[in-house]
Amino acid sequence: MKFGVIVFPGSNCDDDMVHVLGDVMGQEVSKIWHKEKDLHGFGDGDCVVLPGGFSYGDYVRAGAIAQFSPIMQAVKAFAAAGGYVFGVCNGFQILCESHLLPGVLLHNANQQFICKNVWLRPGTNRSPITSDLDLNQALKIPIAHAEGRYFADRATLDALEQNDQVLFRYCTPEGAISPEANPNG
């Protein structure tokens, strides 16, 4: 599997992603500048990653401007053809703004930027990202965002649940899923 990490102006986690994919996981990985118009040889079985950061300064909304970058048409075509695409933090926001994922990311309920460690628990093991994870183990991760409150209509949420597409859920350090564990509200 080959990985491509999309770099937008304001991305600040692209080097971290390249390090983990290449140096830690031993995968072939390359950076792809947002002005590119195609994915240069990425195909079936490969993966495109949209990393965290603050694309275009997140001036309008997180990911709102990045969705119009030339590379995003190629990312959409790649996903439509069955290619693996995932986004972390701002990358997830860009995927929602691009309509590759349903829903939107709203301001956190407390209307504040949140930067702290939180706990997640895998919601499924039917994804390449979560297939080797213990569904009962809480994982500690850092978060840093002002717009992390996912919103979608009830039908969309039900479809995500039925299709086993919720990869992670906020939880307590002991792994209990509860609304109080969600820092975004």
In terms of domains, do 58 and 123 share one?
Answer: no
Structure tokens at 37: 């118009």
User: Could you report the per-residue pLDDT of 74-118, keeping only the tens digit for each?
Assistant: 999 999 999 999 999 999 999 999 999 999 999 999 999 999 999
Residue 87 burial (10 A CB sphere; 0-12, 13-18, 19+):
buried
Structure tokens at 107: 């301001």
User: Could you report the per-residue pLDDT of 30-86, keeping only the tens digit for each?
Assistant: 999 999 999 989 998 999 999 999 999 988 888 999 999 999 999 999 999 999 999
Element (H, E) at 97: helix 90-97
Residue 168 forms part of a structural domain: yes
Domain that holds residue 177: 114-181
The owner of tokens 């509860």 is: 178
Q: What CATH number does the domain containing 28 carry?
A: 3.40.50.880
Structure tokens at 58: 């997140």
The owner of tokens 């109080």 is: 180
Residue 7 forms part of a structural domain: yes
List, in sequence order, every beta strand (DSSP E) within the chain: 2-7, 28-33, 47-50, 84-87, 104-106, 114-122, 139-145, 149-151, 168-171
In terms of domains, do 96 and 119 share one?
Answer: no
Structure tokens at 80: 């439509």
Euclidean distance between CA atoms 8 and 54, whole angstroms: 9
In terms of domains, do 150 and 95 share one?
Answer: no
Does this model's pTM top 0.85? My answer is: yes
